[in-house]
Amino acid sequence: MLERILVAIDGSPQSHKALEVASEMAERFSSKMIVLHVLGEGEPSAELREVVEAEHLVTPPSYTSIPEWFVYPGLIVAQDESARQEYFHKIFLAAGEQIVRRGKEFSEDKGVSEVMTVLAEGDPAEEILSYARDRAADVIVLGNRGLGGVERLFLGSVSEKVAREAGCHCLIVK
């Protein structure tokens, strides 16, 4: 029947609805549940940075002073960019850990007895599909972010790509 349920969450209201549905299914069928979050890339939003810093999950980088005689433009830019990218990754990691932890707690509170959490990095659709294949998921549950019209034609969406390419059942929760 449904031995393994993979639910992909990103912290959005739509993904919470998917978590609710997946939890109900896992509890009803005594299924194992996998809560997967794919870390963000690029620069996190100001809101995400504020939340992560306010909860003291990540400390902003501090820059050490370099002797003036050693400074040249390429060095400072490279050091600052490297520190900045590392800081962004830490923000996404801290937020991802919170998202899967809360997802697991929610599912356990709903009566799901076996919940595993996973953080992945990369293209969200590809990571979801890969993990579902590798763990022989019977169903993938995810929210629909609701891209419409022209955006969907050019960008596609994670839920559409997963539904189209999944080798198992896929439930998109609206």
Cβ of 53: how many Cβ atoms within 10 Å?
A: 14
> Which residue type does 36 have?
L
**Domain limits for position 109:** 4-173
- Determine the pLDDT at residue 55: 80
- Determine the pLDDT at residue 77: 43
Long-range interactions of 124-127: CB distance < 8 A, separation 24+: 124/8, 124/10, 124/38, 124/158, 125/158, 125/161, 125/162, 125/165, 127/36, 127/38
pLDDT digits (tens, 9 = 90+) for 87-110: 888 889 999 999 999 999 999 999
Half-sphere CA count of 45, side-chain side, radius 13 A: 4
pLDDT digits (tens, 9 = 90+) for 119-170: 999 999 999 999 999 999 999 999 987 434 444 444 448 888 999 999 999 9
CA distance 164 to 29: 25
Average pLDDT, the chain: 84
- Determine the pLDDT at residue 170: 96
**% of the chain at pLDDT higher than 70:** 82
pTM of the full structure: 0.82
- Determine the pLDDT at residue 155: 43
- Determine the pLDDT at residue 74: 47
CATH of the domain at 160: 3.40.50.620
- Determine the pLDDT at residue 111: 96
> What is the number of structural domains in the chain?
1
Give mean pLDDT, residues 6-17: 92
